[in-house]
């Protein structure tokens, strides 16, 4: 072989230096190379080095290929056509003769770069032009793919893999031919060829996942899975991992052809999840494929019962066989948890952790959580719960652990069906709380906490059982169980009424205080403090006797200054804020100053966590202290405005490309360029900003006219934040904006406004300042109703509702057209937040679950009736069909309840205005609701029937018999089944009362009164007291014979309703007592 030229020799010496293990030598070589690499002559010199198989070592030639790839694009356009063609021919010749695998791979990448430059440099838009740029390359690939030697066939796919983008853009008309080539590669007898084909095809399929052309390659999914499964069997993790990455990309493909392969894709991922021979990172990638399929194709996956149950069974088996804590997911965000409990039973620190925090248990629980949240509940709930119940009866503690842990995991996603089945589920949960195995008890606490958090308010009916169990678990011998039981208290007590916690309040507070003083484990201390805070919220003013002692404990914690104790300090501050909410302004006043001092001091620490806790404290204290909080506004509001206005993103120097050595020698590395910058999001600042928005909103809501001077700057920064990219921030803005109207109302209207329903003809009672604030805020909120995120839309609807109900018809008139149109779009599922991506599913909406934000939308519709009055009647023909679509029997019970409730509100507010629609819409919907299997639906239907009769009077009396027949079964409901059952009976009673008042002459009082009186007094829905007792008072004044005939029963009803422990308000109690006297 001829000797290297002088330029090539010099180039080889510098390139060899780059391979040395000495950083200084490498840097010197880079400095020397930079000016040389700017000259076109560097290209033939490096090609010489690459070709010099006998004269240069492998490492030097490999580096030459890498560096040339980095610089070739900038020089190629400077060469004339013959020179370019000669270079391309020489590169192909090298590929044919190169024996070194690293060098050949380097040249493959170089060839792909040249191909891309040729295709793009000529402005080629189609395959003919692109291929014309280097036709020999594509001939080379085709020939290599059919070569008898496996190395040549492998080379063909290596080239195609490197040229993915070029192929994807410029060779679309040749896709059918390429599909045949890939198909042959996947069935090749040589493993290396198969693997190369999988990788190349995978890259192309990922690139085309969102394109229509993916259909051409969709039939190859099955052969890819066959190759990947063979690789899994022989522990070839690289190909398995590559395949899983491709399957993840395909999960979101809109192609129906790809969706047709969902089952084998999921089964392969399921096998990988279970394969303990694979690294946890690979298994976690498989779990991600399953979770992503559940997210993108929930109905398709849900309808394949065999596939779904197989996944669920795999998840249960993983949790059973794992030695780690199945409640551990609860504490992943607590850095002290692992440190505190690594020596506890069931807290195996290894648990297949790969060093990246991935464990079998975490992987399995995360996947199940996604299944529960995404797949329609009609498909996922039964397979999971039936397996939970079966395992809870097992003699194997590992199975019991899995059963109760999985029940806790699905509590959020399957909250609705779980609430409906608490009576069947809770006895099993209570039993496991006393299990002999500590891991089972810990998971029972986890499940109790999850159910307490997500199954409100139904779970509150079990307070007499839950609280004693949790109280006992606080004394558990396993500290992890003690800590988890604190979590249960925190979740359960947040919405518990004082009477629920009262029986155990004293021993509970003493127990928690004792635990806090006795333990040195920070995570237990934090959870104990959180439990104390929740207990205070539940007890309300009854917590007042404990404030001195608890505040003393918190004051010590609020003085902590070590960084590792910041979270505990913050929890203590949070606890004081909750105590303030519980006991009120007068009881908390002595602690207001010290609490504020701690919160403000926290802002001086370099800790976003402490800042969040401080803002939460400001929000709670403003809510409690009201005008007494006003003196600190001047200091706090500017600070909060600054925080809210901060940019949570910042540009930083991009990290080196993965696998990209010698980046100092890139084309972009010129003296006049600053390199690549990328945006980094400071997620901690997002939470801080959210807390600041909450705080400023509460200050505006509760400090009255004192907040007016700050309205301008706060309004400006919130309107800017309303356009933030992150839904977390926008949701908080939507929640806070409506509060900005309140300072004006306090200053200009004495804190309240009076208005007449539907009256927009007269002079507006709103002051100029209030009108301006209302106009700005409502316009912003109405715009946010078109946001792409459901939570933002829901909060925006709530904000609009609160403002128009406070300020009346004139406020709504400012934005009426847009507001009504946006609301209708939401009801009709035409709004931006409802335009989901099509990922290959073609099912209707019968499998859809209830969208919680739609309750806010329907509440806003009811508010239109309340504010607009008869002006809203003209919109009924448009709105009613959209509302009734949610009342279909195929819809979830929450949807049906929501729709019937909305109709009831409209009937109540519009009265005779529904006359044209009552027989075709309101009445049949209400009758269907009364026959529903769900008590919430029946409750709302009963209300709807009652207000229809109240509003239409004599028009509907001919239907009284049918109405009463439909209402009759509700009086047989066992109120011991829970609050909803009791409320159902209460609403049926109120419906009967309304029917009597609307037309007593047409009502069969003799037959119905005994049934009504037997159901009284009302047990749950106290808002109907006035309706029911007002009806009875009227009948009594008229000495209605049938009522007098039931005097004994009436006396019982009045006596119980007027008793001291009755929930009837005091004014009505006095009326009841007077009525009782007349009956004696």
Q: How far apart are CA 972 and CA 967, in angstroms?
A: 10
Per-residue model confidence as pLDDT tens digits over 300-348? 999 999 999 999 999 999 999 887 666 655 555 555 555 665 555 545 4
Confidence grade of residue 137 (pLDDT, cut at 50, 70, 90) = confident
Nearest to 703 by CA among 716, 714, 687: 714
Q: How far apart are CA 541 and CA 525, in angstroms?
A: 24
241-245, 628-632, 832-836: least confidently modelled range:
832-836
Nearest to 897 by CA among 863, 926, 918, 857: 926
Q: How far apart are CA 938 and CA 944, in angstroms?
A: 10
3-state secondary structure 568-612: HHHHHHHHHHHHHHHHHHHHHHHHHHHHHHHHHHHCCCCCHHHHH
581-590, 884-893, 981-990: least confidently modelled range:
884-893
At 167 the pLDDT is 87
Per-residue model confidence as pLDDT tens digits over 223-276? 999 999 999 999 889 999 999 999 999 998 888 888 899 999 999 999 999 999
At 663 the pLDDT is 64
Question: Pseudo-torsion of CA 600, 604, 606, 608, nearest 10°?
Answer: 20
Q: How far apart are CA 936 and CA 897, in angstroms?
A: 6
Task: Examine the pLDDT at 916 and tell me if it is beyond 70.
Answer: yes
Task: Examine the pLDDT at 980 and tell me if it is beyond 90.
Answer: no
Task: Examine the pLDDT at 671 and tell me if it is beyond 50.
Answer: no
Q: How far apart are CA 183 and CA 177, in angstroms?
A: 10
Task: Examine the pLDDT at 896 and tell me if it is beyond 90.
Answer: yes
Per-residue model confidence as pLDDT tens digits over 746-802? 999 998 899 999 998 878 899 999 999 999 999 999 999 999 999 999 999 999 999
Query: Contact 765/810 with Cβ under 8 angstroms?
Result: yes
Per-residue model confidence as pLDDT tens digits over 934-977? 999 999 999 999 999 999 999 999 999 999 999 999 999 998 88
Phi-psi map region of 455: left, alpha, beta (phi>0 left; psi -120 to 50 alpha): alpha
Task: State mean pLDDT over 489-506.
Answer: 85
Sign of CA dihedral 397, 399, 405, 408: negative
Ordered DSSP codes for 859-924: HHHHHHHHHHGGGGGGGHHHHHHHHHGGGSTTS-HHHHHHHHHHHHHHHHHHGGGGTTTIIIIIHH
Confidence grade of residue 460 (pLDDT, cut at 50, 70, 90) = confident
Nearest to 840 by CA among 263, 176, 222, 207: 263
Average pLDDT, the chain: 89
At 730 the pLDDT is 95
At 127 the pLDDT is 44
Query: Contact 85/134 with Cβ under 8 angstroms?
Result: no
Strand, coil or helix: 10: helix
Dmax of the chain from CA atoms?
Answer: 127
Per-residue model confidence as pLDDT tens digits over 461-486? 888 888 889 888 888 888 778 888 88
Per-residue model confidence as pLDDT tens digits over 555-595? 999 999 999 999 999 999 999 999 999 999 999 999 999 99
Task: State mean pLDDT over 405-412.
Answer: 94
Q: How far apart are CA 430 and CA 444, in angstroms?
A: 8
Confidence grade of residue 684 (pLDDT, cut at 50, 70, 90) = confident
């Amino acid at each position: 072989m001829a000797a290297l030229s002088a330029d090539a020799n010099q180039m080889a010496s510098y390139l060899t230096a780059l391979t040395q293990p000495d950083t200084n030598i490498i840097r010197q070589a880079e400095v020397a190379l930079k000016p040389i690499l700017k000259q076109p002559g560097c290209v033939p010199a490096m090609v010489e080095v690459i070709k010099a198989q006998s004269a240069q070592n492998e490492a030097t030639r490999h580096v030459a290929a890498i560096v040339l790839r980095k610089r070739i694009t900038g020089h190629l356009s400077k060469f004339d056509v013959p020179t370019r063609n000669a270079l391309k021919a020489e590169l192909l010749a090298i590929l044919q003769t190169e024996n070194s695998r690293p060098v050949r791979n380097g040249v493959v990448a170089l060839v792909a770069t040249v191909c891309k430059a040729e295709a793009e440099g000529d402005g080629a838009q189609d395959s003919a032009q692109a291929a014309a740029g280097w036709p020999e390359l594509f001939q080379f690939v085709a020939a290599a793919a059919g070569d008898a030697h496996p190395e040549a066939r492998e080379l063909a796919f290596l080239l195609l893999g490197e040229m993915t983008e070029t192929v994807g853009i410029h060779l679309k008309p040749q896709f059918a031919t390429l599909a045949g080539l890939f198909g042959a590669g996947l069935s090749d007898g040589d493993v290396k060829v198969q693997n190369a084909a999988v990788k190349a095809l995978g890259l192309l399929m990922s690139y085309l996942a969102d394109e229509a052309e993916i259909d051409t390659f969709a039939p190859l999914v099955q052969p890819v899975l066959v190759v990947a499964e063979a690789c899994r069997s022989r522990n070839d993790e690289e190909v398995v991992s590559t395949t899983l990455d491709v399957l993840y990309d395909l999960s979101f493909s809109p192609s129906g052809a790809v969706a047709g392969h969902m089952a084998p894709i999921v089964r392969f991922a399921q096998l990988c999840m279970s394969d303990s021979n694979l690294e946890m990172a690979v298994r976690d990638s498989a779990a991600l494929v399953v979770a992503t399929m559940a997210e993108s194709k929930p109905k398709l996956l849900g309808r394949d019962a065999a596939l779904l149950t197989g996944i669920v069974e795999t998840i249960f088996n993983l949790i059973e066989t794992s030695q780690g804590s199945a409640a551990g997911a609860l504490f992943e965000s607590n850095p002290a948890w692992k440190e505190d409990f690594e020596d506890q039973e069931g807290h195996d620190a290894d648990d297949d952790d790969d060093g990246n925090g991935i464990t079998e248990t975490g992987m399995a629980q995360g996947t199940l959580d996604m299944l529960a949240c995404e797949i329609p509940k009609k498909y996922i709930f039964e397979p999971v719960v039936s397996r939970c119940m079966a395992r809870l009866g097992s003699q194997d503690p590992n199975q019991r652990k899995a059963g109760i842990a999985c029940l806790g995991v699905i509590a959020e996603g399957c909250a609705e069906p779980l609430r409906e089945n608490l009576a069947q589920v809770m006895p099993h949960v209570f039993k496991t709380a006393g299990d002999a195995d500590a891991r089972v008890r810990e998971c029972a606490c986890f499940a109790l906490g999850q159910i307490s958090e997500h199954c409100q308010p139904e779970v509150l009916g079990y307070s007499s059982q839950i609280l004693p169990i949790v109280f006992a678990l606080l004394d558990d011998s396993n500290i992890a169980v003690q800590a988890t039981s604190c979590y249960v208290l925190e979740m359960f007590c947040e919405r518990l009424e004082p009477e629920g916690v009262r029986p155990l309040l004293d021993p509970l507070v003493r127990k928690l205080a004792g635990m806090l003083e006795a333990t040195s484990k920070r995570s237990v201390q934090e959870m104990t403090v959180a439990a104390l805070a929740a207990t205070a919220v539940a007890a309300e003013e009854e917590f007042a006797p404990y404030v001195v002692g608890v505040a003393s404990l918190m004051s010590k914690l609020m003085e902590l200054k070590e960084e590792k104790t910041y979270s505990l300090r913050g929890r203590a501050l949070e606890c004081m804020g909750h105590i303030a909410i519980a006991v009120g302004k007068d009881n908390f006043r002595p602690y207001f100053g010290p609490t504020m001092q701690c919160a403000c001091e926290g802002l001086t620490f370099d800790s976003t966590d402490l800042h969040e806790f401080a803002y939460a404290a400001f929000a709670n204290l403003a809510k409690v202290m009201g005008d007494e909080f006003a003196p600190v506004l001047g200091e706090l509001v500017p600070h909060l405005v600054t925080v809210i206005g901060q940019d949570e993103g910042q540009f930083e120097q991009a990290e080196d490309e993965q696998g990209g050595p010698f980046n100092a020698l890139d084309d972009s590395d010129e003296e006049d360029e600053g390199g690549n910058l990328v945006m980094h999001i400071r997620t901690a600042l997002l939470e801080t900003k959210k807390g600041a928005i909450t705080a400023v909103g509460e200050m505006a809501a509760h400090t009255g006219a004192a907040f007016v001077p700050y309205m301008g700057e706060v309004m400006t920064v919130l309107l800017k934040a309303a356009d933030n990219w992150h839904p977390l921030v926008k949701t908080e803005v939507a929640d806070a904006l409506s509060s900005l109207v309140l300072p004006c109302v306090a200053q200009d209207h004495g804190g309240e406004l009076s208005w007449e329903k539907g009256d927009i003809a007269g002079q507006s009672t709103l002051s100029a300042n209030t009108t301006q604030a209302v106009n700005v805020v409502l316009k912003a909120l109405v715009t946010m109703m078109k946001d792409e995120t459901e939570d933002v839309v829901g909060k925006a609807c709530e904000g609009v509702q609160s403002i128009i109900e406070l300020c009346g018809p004139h406020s709504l008139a400012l934005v009426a057209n847009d507001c009504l149109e946006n609301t209708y779009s939401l009801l009709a599922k035409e709004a931006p937040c409802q335009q989901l991506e099509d990922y290959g599913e073609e099912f209707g909406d019968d499998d859809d679950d209830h969208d919680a934000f739609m309750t806010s939308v329907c509440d806003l519709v009811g508010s239109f009736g309340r504010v607009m009055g008869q002006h809203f009647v003209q919109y009924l023909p448009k709105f009613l069909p959209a509302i009734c679509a949610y009342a279909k029997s195929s819809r979830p019970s929450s949807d049906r309840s929501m729709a019937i409730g909305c109709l009831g509100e409209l009937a109540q507010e519009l009265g005779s205005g529904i006359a044209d629609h009552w027989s075709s819409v309101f009445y049949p919907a209400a009758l269907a609701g009364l026959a529903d299997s769900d008590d919430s639906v029946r409750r709302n239907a009963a209300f709807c029937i009652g207000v229809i009769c109240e509003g239409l009077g004599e028009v509907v009396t001919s239907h009284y018999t049918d109405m009463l027949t439909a209402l009759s079964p509700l009086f047989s409901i066992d109120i011991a089944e829970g609050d909803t059952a009791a409320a159902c009976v209460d609403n049926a009673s109120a419906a009967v009362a309304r029917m009597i008042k609307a037309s007593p002459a047409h009502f069969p009082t003799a037959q119905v009164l005994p049934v009504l009186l037997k159901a009284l007094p009302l047990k749950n829905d106290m808002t109907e007291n006035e309706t029911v007792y007002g009806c009875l008072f009227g009948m009594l004044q008229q000495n209605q014979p049938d009522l007098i005939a039931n005097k004994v029963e009436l006396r019982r009803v009045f006596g119980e309703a007027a008793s001291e422990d009755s929930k009837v308000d005091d004014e009505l109690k006095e009326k009841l007592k007077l009525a009782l006297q007349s009956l004696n």
